Amino acid sequence: MLQRLNTGKYSPILYPNPYFNIPKHFKECDLYLTLIMISRRKFLAVGSLASASVLSGDKTLAKSINTDLIKSPIVISTWDFGIAANAAAWEILKNKGRALDAVEIGVHVPEADPNNQSVGYGGFPDRDGRVTLDACIMDEFGNCGSVAALEHIIHPISVARRVMEKTPHVMLVGAGALQFALEQGFKKENLLTPSSEKAWKEWLKTAKYNPEINIENRLFSPAKLPGNQFNHDTIGMLAIDAAGNMSGACTTSGMAYKMHGRVGDSPIIGAGLYVDNEIGAATSTGVGEEVIRNVGSFLVVELMRQGYSPDEACKEAVMRIIRKKPETAKQIQVGFLALNKKGQFGGYAIQKGFSFAVCDHRDQKQLINSPSYY
């Protein structure tokens, strides 16, 4: 920044605080400057990353530090089955549809899949043999809707949207949520499939409730490793549309064989999902109790507001869980996924095995294995 001297020349002015007001005498100058304020930390970080990417030829790294605003839609979602969900969302986004519509239709795919035993139809029941579903949705205006412990409705995400748009409330639960869904025209159905019922009856022989790391894979075969197509868990989806607006959705049938009435992070705004159209959005997966205790998704978005990249923000949220309960963290899985306003994305998990799907105009079937602490 320059100041005009009596000689008519200009010399630098150094301000220790980057959040300064322009001195009045600048308004009298015939030189008009565009002020770009970059913190020393971010300047050095970007510079070192850019240098590293050039020297190593790492195009992915160079792309990750691109600060240009997003020029086209993008949708990301948790786990491998997010590829199919993203494809449904992309049909709306590529035609300049709204991000809110895209995330709702996108998560309909796993909700209706009887082979996905942790989301919607076919989900594992609670210990009493009842399938209860949780979901929430949030738009670019900060509007949000949620349902918890909802039974007999295949698409809880759509009920959550109705709560947002048709009521003065944010969340409806249990019998009240079902009553509202039926009043809105949703069909009452049996969500317990024969395969999930068989697994539940097998579980009853020991009735041991002990959440396991990436249990979704263990349910099938030890040969089916974490991160492949058999890895099923909560789906969280985040999107930016052609207008640059963001929305998100999160839906699950919760932990298998949980106590009846148990609710995890998925339907909790700020825990399982949070969207701030000025900054970015985040969602979570894994053991919901720990996400709730740390208000995980809200934390990730607020860290991005402070200048963290999406992957850095997800990592810090995971580290808070680990620092608070180091022994517990060794036995559980929690993962975060984030998307900022620029279209940059990232994820981080406690344990190996967390993957997420990315869909944009370049590639509609990207699958990324998230970094992890362990």
Which residues participate in catalysis according to the annotation? 234
| Strand-strand pairing, 235-240 and 246-252 | antiparallel
User: Among 91, 101, 357, 72, which Cα is nearest to 247's?
Assistant: 101
* CA atoms within 13 A of residue 104's CA, in its CB half-sphere: 20
**What is the strand order of the sheet 345-349 is part of?**
273-276, 280-286, 334-340, 345-349
Tell me the C-alpha distance between 14 and 2, whole Å: 9
Cβ(61)–Cβ(216) under 8 Å? no
- How many residues are there in the chain? 374
The first and second tokens of residue 316, run together, are 């810090």
Q: What are phi and psi of 290, to 5 degrees?
A: -75, -30
Tell me the C-alpha distance between 239 and 86, whole Å: 9
Tell me the C-alpha distance between 266 and 120, whole Å: 13
Tell me the C-alpha distance between 253 and 288, whole Å: 12
